[in-house]
Homo-oligomer: A and B are copies of this chain.
Amino acid sequence: MPTKTYHIGVEATMEIIGGKWKSIILCHLRHHTMRTGELARAIPQISQKMLTQQLRELEAANIVSRHVYKQVPPRVDYSLTDYGKSLSGILHELCLWGEDNIDRRQAAGEDISLMSRDDVI
């Protein structure tokens, strides 16, 4: 494979936390280890397939780790790795900025809303 070239750091970051779901998943995992089903409930719009797919990709990037308990029905949980925790501050700021952005847009009359603001626990 020909060397993959980045031109600026943020490119690499976005490759990892970009996309529709990854940053959302990570924001939830910031607070505590979560089981698959817990994550699915926390992110109601995501499909089962997207959830596992995104988690696999985050695992491959060494951002989350996956613990499988050998039992039936299966029990699997996910948490941030130490390296993943190095994203925690950024994720928090992304959440806060977004909350502020929503406030502003609401104040400007846009018809939008934010369901839960329990990001900060």
Contact = CB atoms under 8 A, between A and B. Distances in A.
B11 A98 contact: yes
B90 A94 contact: yes
Interface in A1-56: 1, 3-14, 16, 18-20, 23-24, 27-28, 43-45
Interface string A95-116: 1111111101000001111111
- A contact residues, range: 35 or more
A81 interface: no
Contacts of A28: 8
A70 interface: no
Contact of A9 (B44, B98, B112): B98
A90 B13 CA distance: 12
Number of copies: 2
A119 interface: yes
A87 B98 CA distance: 10
B115 A5 contact: yes
B6 A98 contact: yes
Contacts of A8: 24, 27-28, 95, 98, 114, 116, 119
